[in-house]
Structure 1
C-alpha cells in the first residue's frame, strides 16, 4: 500500500462513528465527574456523546467520548480529551511557546507536528 492510501484509510477510519476514545484524569470522580464539562469537551457540543465514570482502582475519573455523526473526527475528539485532562489536572492547557519559537523555514516541520500532535496516537 502506498503512503497516500494508508493516510486516506486512516482518515476514513477516524470518521467512523461508534469508536470510543477514553482518557483517565487524575481527579476524584466527586471533583471531575459532576457538574459541567471542561471547555474543550463542551466545545464539541451535540456532535459527541460523553460519559464520565470513576476510573478502576480509584485512580481518578474516566472520560469516554465518541462521535454521534461523521461531523467530528477522531483526532478532534483526542485533542479535546487531552486538553480537558490538562485543564482538569493543572488548571490550564499547556501550549508550546516562548521567545524561541519564531517561525522559520527550518522549524516548520516542528510547528506542524506541534499543531497536530494532540490529535494522533494513543490516549
Structure 2
C-alpha cells in the first residue's frame, strides 16, 4: 500500500475513488483499518480534492484476493468513519414485507456492496 501522496505500485482493475471532507493530513493519520489491513491486496493513494474540498482516496486492486465490491464497501465505511466518526446504517423498513415490496427489499439489502440505488 502506498502511503501519503506517493505513487502507488502497479495495480489491476478499475480505480475506485471517494472524496472525504477532511484534510489530507487528517486522513493520512486516521485512515481506517479496513483499508490499512488489506496489505498488498490493494494500492491506496491520497490526494487533495479539487478546490481544497477535502481528500480523494483512490483504491485499486493489486491482485485478485479482494473484489471490486469489497473495495466499494470498504470505501463507504471509511468515508463514514472519517467524516462522521461512525458507520451510518440504513433505516429499517417500516412496512410489512409483502410481494409488492419484495423487489425493493432485495435491492436495498445489496445496496452497500453494489453502489447507489
C-alpha RMSD of the superposition: 2.6
The structure with the largest strand share of the pair is 2
Measure the CA separation in 2 of the matches of 1:44 and 1:108: 35
CA 65–101 in structure 1, closer or farther in 2 if over 3 Å, else same: farther
Q: CA deviation at 1:120?
A: 2.4
Confirm or deny: 8 A CA contact 2:19 2:56 kept in the other structure. yes
Q: Deviations over 1:33-58 (max 9, x none)?
A: x2252133234333111111111210
Which position in structure 2 is the counterpart of 1:18? 13
Higher mean C-alpha deviation, range 43-52 or range 113-122: 113-122
1:64 to 58, 66, 74: 58
Q: CA deviation at 1:119?
A: 2.4
- Structure 1 alignment gaps of length 5 or more: 1-15
- Structure 2 alignment gaps of length 5 or more: 1-10
Measure the CA separation in 2 of the matches of 1:57 and 1:18: 28
Q: CA deviation at 1:62?
A: 0.6
SS of the equivalent of 2:14 reads coil
Which position in structure 2 is the counterpart of 1:79? 73
SS of the equivalent of 1:112 reads helix
Higher mean C-alpha deviation, range 56-65 or range 23-32: 23-32
Which position in structure 2 is the counterpart of 1:10? none
The answer as to 2:23 corresponding to 1:28 is: yes
TM-score, normalised by the number of residues in structure 2: 0.71
SS of the equivalent of 2:86 reads coil
